[in-house]
Amino acid sequence: MKENNVRIGIYPGSFDPITLGHLDVIERGAKMFDKLYVAIAVNVRKKYTFSEEERLDMLKDACKHIKNVEVVSCHEDLTVEFARKMNATAILRGLRAMMDFEYELQMASTNYELNDNIETIFLMTNTKYSYLSSSVVKEVAMGHGDISKFVTPYTSNKLHKKYNY
Ligand code: ADP
């Protein structure tokens, strides 16, 4: 905890685009911190479907009702470095079924080795969204299917535009 007792967390991810599963983690995570930064990863080596601006725009719209959440871009290669700069003491991540565990364990352990002042905290997925991922939503949108149960209406519109339906 920082000396001024303000608890700051960061929730990093691609959010390509934000799903209701992400939003659920953000809403629950926001209750655990005084301030929660949702940090969009901007990695030049990675290819995203939506641009940084589009991902920021959709995230900002989805989070506008949560007062202590701020959406930011993370151009930093290392999440722990970004967390340190933002004075965060915790990295928040979501865990779905088995598929996330190995990767998240590896990342959390590595990040702890890099900076042991920053803890990674996991929130179990809401069972309603345990199957939900940005890629699955894009698959459905590509096939012009109904995505209204997976994303906010605003993001749904953006997906319709992207996939022409
Ligand atoms: P990344 O590319 O960093 O994995 P994502 O945007 O896919 O970025 O996910 C960001 C975080 O949100 C990860 O910790 C991921 O496990 C979590 N997450 C994604 N979808 C869900 C979901 N449906 N329920 C809970 N957590 C989720």
Q: DSSP assignment of 94-127, as one string?
A: EE-SHHHHHHHHHHHHHHHHH-TTSEEEEEEPPG
Give pLDDT tens digits along the chain (165 positions): 445 689 999 999 999 999 999 999 999 999 999 999 999 999 988 999 999 999 999 999 999 999 999 999 999 889 999 999 999 999 999 999 788 999 999 999 999 999 999 999 999 999 999 999 999 999 999 999 999 999 999 999 999 999 999
Q: Is the CB of 152 under 6 A from ligand 1?
A: no
Residue 131 Cα: closest atom of ligand 1 = 23
Rounded-to-integer distance, Cα 48 and Cα 53, Å: 12
Q: Is the CB of 93 under 6 A from ligand 1?
A: yes
Q: pTM of the full predicted structure?
A: 0.96
